[in-house]
Amino acid sequence: MKHSIVAPAILAALCMAGPAPGQSLKRPDAPFIRSADGKLVGRLDGPACSSTVSLVFSGTSEVFGDGKSANRMMSNVVQNVRASCGSVNLIAAKGVANGRVVYNAVADASSKWLLLELGGDRSGGLLASGTVGASGDQNRFAASNRFLPLGSLLKTMGGARYLCAQQTAEGCTVSTEFRAASEGGATLVSRYLLDGGGTLATVSYDGTNVGGLLCANPKSAKITVEGGSQSPAARARLADDLRERLDPYGSQICSGWQASGPRFIGANFNAQGAQLGKALVLTTSATPPKLRREE
- Higher pLDDT: 160 or 99? It is 160
Task: Give residue 129's pLDDT band: very low, low, confident or very high (50, 70, 90).
Answer: low
How much is the pLDDT for 253?
Answer: 92
Please state, for a pLDDT cut of 70, what percent of the chain lies above it. 87
Q: What is the pLDDT of residue 215?
A: 97
| 18 pLDDT above the threshold of 90 | no
Residue 17 has pLDDT above 60, yes or no: no
pTM score, whole prediction:
0.82
pLDDT tens digits, 233-255: 999 999 999 988 888 888 899 99
Choose the most confident range, by mean pLDDT, from 12-21, 95-104, 176-185: 176-185
Higher pLDDT among residues 6 and 131, named by residue: 131
> What percent of the chain is modeled with pLDDT above 90?
65
The whole-number pLDDT of residue 123 equals 53
What is the three-state SS of the chain?
CCEEECCHHHHHHHHHHCCCCCCCCCCCCCCCEEECCCCCEEEECCCCCCCEEEEEEECCHHHHHCCCHHHHHHHHHHHHHHHHCCCCCEEEEEEEECCEEEEEEEEEHHHCCCCEEECCCCCCCCCCCCCECCCCHHHHHHHCCCEECHHHHHHHHCCCCEEEECCECCEECEEEEEEEEECCEEEEEEEEECCCCCCEEEEEEEEEEECCEEEECHHHCEEEEECCCCCHHHHHHHHHHHHHHHHHHCCCEEEEEEEECCEEEEEEECCCCCEEEEEEEEEEECCCCCECCCC
pLDDT of 153 > 90? The answer is: yes
pLDDT at 245: 86
Residue 268: per-residue pLDDT = 92
pLDDT at 135 over 60: yes
Given this model, what pLDDT does residue 125 score? 65
- Residue predicted with more confidence, 129 or 250: 250
- What would the pLDDT profile of 25-50 be if each residue is shown by its tens digit? 344 457 899 998 899 999 999 988 99
- Decide if pLDDT at 221 tops 60: yes
**pLDDT band per the 50, 70, 90 thresholds, residue 282:** very high
Give residue 260's pLDDT: 95
